[in-house]
Copies of this chain bind each other. A is one copy, B any other.
Amino acid sequence: MLTYDMEARGALPRYEYIYRCIRRDILSGELASGEKLPGKRALAEHLGVSVITVGAAYDQLEAEGCVEAVPRRGFFVSESVSSPPPAAAGGEGGPGRESVDEWRLDLRSGRVDPALFPVGVWARLTRRALAESSPALLRSVPHEGLYELREAIARYLRGSRGLAADAERIVIGAGSEQLYLMLGQLFAGETVAVEDPGYAKIREVYSRSPLRCRCVSLDAQGMDVEALRASGAAVAHISPAHQYPTGVVTTLQRRLGLLAWAGETGGYIVEDDYDSELRLTHRPLPALAGLDREGRVIYMNTFSQTLAPGLRVSYLLLPERLAARWRETLGFYSNAVPALEQEVLARFISGGYYERHLARLRKTCRERRAALLAALAEGPLAGRVEPEDSGAGPHLLLRLRTEESDAALKERAARMGLRLAFLSDFAADAARAEQHALVLNYAALSRERLQEAARALAGLLA
């Protein structure tokens, strides 16, 4: 029976402590591939915790791909999870989207609800920054960004994502797209692999950059390592926490496989962690950047996604070995984010407002997700659609039982004022893409609007 000292857990919640212990044992080989884990009830009794606690730990391990649940038999350690030692935990992701058009009902826009943004706090911090340090407006920002902000982000990443982050390796950008542009220049002349299907802007920016952009397919575990190898890419740009639009969460095995690829080929992985803060069930998986021992991962995230689209701040955490190359190749660029905004954001993070905001955001998203799933299961759509959702972020896939083409559905929907996106919209080759898989972004819609959306979809399929 697995024996862990529950007194040694410190401030960690019980379930997380257990999850971490088991994961450590799996990765170290203590628990071998294929080995069966003890039953939940037995382990709970053994460790003196509740069955719910053990269940939560097992769920997290499963979500991460460390163990597999076999119906009516229990949990087994997955094949090929081994060696590279784990770091502290985290999550991962992709991009920061937005639309400007007005729709009656927009199920495509990945924005979070702007009503949740703490306008009052932000305005107060802005006034204070102006009053206390009017130089905030004037200061020349260092090329990599305001030091206070980089420090605040580093502290946040250490605390919330378990990354060994330091301010010196952080670069601030004016939104993710501006950082894609920079990466497009950093990797000039090389081949960069992007996910297919994937977030179109990444492909669009790279295909206009001085590099070769290759689309690499995904399977249920994440980016296909063999296909990546075959592409000849030197860089893979992925969103392992929660791929957009498929929702695939890259499993731990695959993460290790991707890291192994980078180590062998001397390649780099851009880990686009765009919505990891909005993981709604389980804890976020550990970031690739946290597993990375060889300095092969560029961690990337944005605030436009979780705060407001009108705020344009994103950042990179560069591995040490790339920091010098960055400064040499791109160090001449002036920082593109206004000094005042950087100053206010630094205060917002350091004052604990960002984490409080995220907690509120997750709570709302969780409620909305539940409302949406209920509306889909109980309404007139019951049996006609099939949601596929890991709860890893504020969008899910909805497979529609219909013969109509995606294009035709989208056009009919648009005439009803309903904006839809399909998986096929995100594929490099739309003709070969899977049909009838709706990409449903629900974070910006209230319970009532989601119910309305379910009715509208039912009407569309009728």
Question: Residues on A close to B: CB < 8 A?
Answer: 96, 98-100, 111, 114, 117, 119, 122-123, 126-127, 130-131, 134-143, 174-175, 177-178, 181, 185, 188, 200-201, 204-205, 208-210, 304, 308-312, 329-330, 332-341
Q: How distant is the Cα of A111 from the Cα of B335 in the complex, in angstroms?
A: 15
* Cross-chain contact A336 with B338 (CB below 8 angstroms): no
* Cross-chain contact A332 with B140 (CB below 8 angstroms): no
Q: Select A178's contact among B123, B139, B178, beta carbons within 8 Å.
A: B178
28 A-B pairs with CB atoms under 8 Å apart are: A100-B142, A100-B143, A114-B135, A119-B134, A127-B130, A137-B311, A138-B309, A140-B309, A140-B310, A174-B336, A177-B334, A177-B336, A178-B336, A185-B208, A185-B209, A201-B332, A204-B332, A205-B333, A208-B210, A208-B329, A304-B334, A311-B339, A312-B336, A336-B336, A338-B338, A338-B341, A340-B341, A341-B341
Q: How distant is the Cα of A99 from the Cα of B331 in the complex, in angstroms?
A: 12
Nearest Cβ on chain B to A309's Cβ, whole angstroms: 5
Q: How distant is the Cα of A138 from the Cα of B312 in the complex, in angstroms?
A: 11
Residues of B within 8 A of A117 (CB): 137-138
Interface-central residue, A138, A142, A185, A335, by most chain B CB under 10 Å? A138
* Cross-chain contact A312 with B333 (CB below 8 angstroms): no
Q: How distant is the Cα of A96 from the Cα of B127 in the complex, in angstroms?
A: 28
* Cross-chain contact B174 with A178 (CB below 8 angstroms): yes
Interface-central residue, A130, A174, A177, A311, by most chain B CB under 10 Å? A174
* Cross-chain contact A137 with B310 (CB below 8 angstroms): yes
Closest A-B pairs by Cβ, 7 of them: A310-B339, A174-B336, A123-B130, A114-B138, A185-B208, A210-B210, A174-B174
Nearest Cβ on chain B to A109's Cβ, whole angstroms: 9
* Cross-chain contact A140 with B98 (CB below 8 angstroms): yes
Number of copies: 2
Q: How distant is the Cα of A335 from the Cα of B329 in the complex, in angstroms?
A: 24
Q: How distant is the Cα of A204 from the Cα of B111 in the complex, in angstroms?
A: 35
* Cross-chain contact A122 with B140 (CB below 8 angstroms): no
Q: Select A208's contact among B123, B135, B136, B188, beta carbons within 8 Å.
A: B188
Q: How distant is the Cα of A138 from the Cα of B111 in the complex, in angstroms?
A: 11
Closest to A131 in B: B123
Q: How distant is the Cα of A311 from the Cα of B136 in the complex, in angstroms?
A: 10
Closest to A141 in B: B310
* Cross-chain contact A123 with B119 (CB below 8 angstroms): no
Q: How distant is the Cα of A205 from the Cα of B308 in the complex, in angstroms?
A: 29
Residues of B within 8 A of A337 (CB): 174, 312, 338
Q: How distant is the Cα of A130 from the Cα of B188 in the complex, in angstroms?
A: 41
Residues of B within 8 A of A330 (CB): 208
Residues of B within 8 A of A177 (CB): 333-334, 336
List 19 additional A-B contacts (Cβ < 8 Å) besides A181-B181, A208-B329.
A98-B140, A100-B140, A100-B142, A100-B143, A111-B140, A114-B135, A114-B138, A117-B137, A117-B138, A122-B137, A123-B131, A126-B130, A138-B308, A175-B334, A201-B332, A310-B339, A311-B338, A312-B335, A312-B337
Q: How distant is the Cα of A333 from the Cα of B117 in the complex, in angstroms?
A: 23
Nearest Cβ on chain B to A106's Cβ, whole angstroms: 11
Q: From known contacts A312-B336, A336-B312, infer whether A138 and B126 are also in contact, taking CB-CB under 8 Å.
A: no
Nearest Cβ on chain B to A192's Cβ, whole angstroms: 13
Q: How distant is the Cα of A139 from the Cα of B181 in the complex, in angstroms?
A: 24
Nearest Cβ on chain B to A127's Cβ, whole angstroms: 6
Closest to A98 in B: B140
Closest to A330 in B: B208
Q: How distant is the Cα of A229 from the Cα of B143 in the complex, in angstroms?
A: 36
Residues of B within 8 A of A143 (CB): 100
Q: Select A137's contact among B140, B175, B308, beta carbons within 8 Å.
A: B308
Q: How distant is the Cα of A201 from the Cα of B341 in the complex, in angstroms?
A: 24
Q: How distant is the Cα of A190 from the Cα of B153 in the complex, in angstroms?
A: 40
Closest to A311 in B: B338
Q: Select A123's contact among B134, B141, B339, beta carbons within 8 Å.
A: B134
Residues of B within 8 A of A96 (CB): 334
Residues of B within 8 A of A201 (CB): 332-333
Residues of B within 8 A of A340 (CB): 126, 310, 341
Closest to A109 in B: B140
